[in-house]
Amino acid sequence: MNLEEIVLLAKKEDRLACSKLMEFIWPSVMEVCKNLLDECDWDDESQLVFIRFFDSLATFSYTSDKHLENYSKTMTFYHCMTFLKRKTKTKKKLTVCSINGEAHEVIDPEPGFQVTPKQYDMLVNEIRQLALGYRTIFTLRVKEGCSYQRIGELLGITEETSRSQFFHAKKELRRILNIKRFFDGTE
């Protein structure tokens, strides 16, 4: 089976064809990621490139193997550049503090704000208890710094839905944590 046939089958969501196509573009995607990003970002960002690649496959017109390779490299390049711009903007708003003996970046912390190891562990555990949809949107928004529009694109929902779900995720997390108990350190 040649690459053109694989692309046609992948457009029809054939799993084997998608796997073979991914094997073909993997080296190109990783080459660009490794040249532009820090090692700690390679896996996450390459996965997002693959999602974007397969989402756009329906509009891709195969002409040659080289064209497919260049298409994947170009898509990866633009994704990485967007990621780096977002990361640079976010970095300006972050402050590094020590939580649980490790350095963590915190967005706009309150003056004198400190989190004990016990509170940090409790917070992480409570976030894990959120419903999958809430947890996904919360993580994309807070940890990854994605815009509501980008969250919508990634999850196939509207921007308004991502805003609403983020609001409800925060509300649920507040309810779970019982903020007074969490920050007072009382049980």
Looking up residue 25, the CATH number of its domain turns out to be 1.10.1740.10
The more confidently predicted of residues 186 and 39 is 39
Based on the fold, state whether residues 82 and 101 are members of the same structural domain.
Answer: no
Identify the pLDDT of residue 180: 46
Based on the fold, state whether residues 18 and 34 are members of the same structural domain.
Answer: yes
Based on the fold, state whether residues 102 and 169 are members of the same structural domain.
Answer: yes
Based on the fold, state whether residues 9 and 66 are members of the same structural domain.
Answer: yes
Based on the fold, state whether residues 71 and 100 are members of the same structural domain.
Answer: no
Mean pLDDT of 44-65: 89
Mean pLDDT of 6-32: 91
Q: Grade residue 6 by pLDDT with cuts at 50, 70 and 90.
A: very high
Nearest to 62 by CA among 71, 73, 54: 71
Based on the fold, state whether residues 180 and 99 are members of the same structural domain.
Answer: yes
Based on the fold, state whether residues 65 and 114 are members of the same structural domain.
Answer: no
Beta bridge partners of 103: 98
* Whether pLDDT at 5 is above 90: yes
The reply to whether the predicted model has a pTM over 0.85 is no
Choose the final residue of a domain: 90, 114, 132. Answer: 90
Based on the fold, state whether residues 118 and 86 are members of the same structural domain.
Answer: no
* Number of domains comprising the chain: 2
Range of the domain at 11: 3-90
In whole angstroms, what is the distance from residue 82 CA to residue 88 CA? 10
Based on the fold, state whether residues 46 and 98 are members of the same structural domain.
Answer: no
* Whether pLDDT at 24 is above 50: yes
pLDDT tens per residue across span 124-182: 778 888 888 888 888 788 877 788 898 888 888 899 999 999 989 888 887 777 654 55
* Whether pLDDT at 43 is above 60: yes
CATH number (domain holding residue 147): 1.10.10.10
In whole angstroms, what is the distance from residue 119 CA to residue 183 CA? 8
pLDDT tens per residue across span 60-114: 888 999 889 888 888 888 888 888 777 766 544 444 444 445 544 444 444 555 6
Choose the final residue of a domain: 57, 90, 123. Answer: 90
Which 3-state string (H, E, C) describes the chain? Answer: CCHHHHHHHHHCCCHHHHHHHHHHHHHHHHHHHHHHCCHHHHHHHHHHHHHHHHHHHHHCCCCCHHHHHHHHHHHHHHHHHHHHHHHHHHHCCEEEEEECCEEEEEECCCCCCCCCHHHHHHHHHHHHHCCHHHHHHHHHHHHCCCCHHHHHHHHCCCHHHHHHHHHHHHHHHHHHHCHHHHHHCCC
Using the structure block, give the residue that is written with the tokens 């970046």. 105
Choose the final residue of a domain: 90, 113, 140. Answer: 90
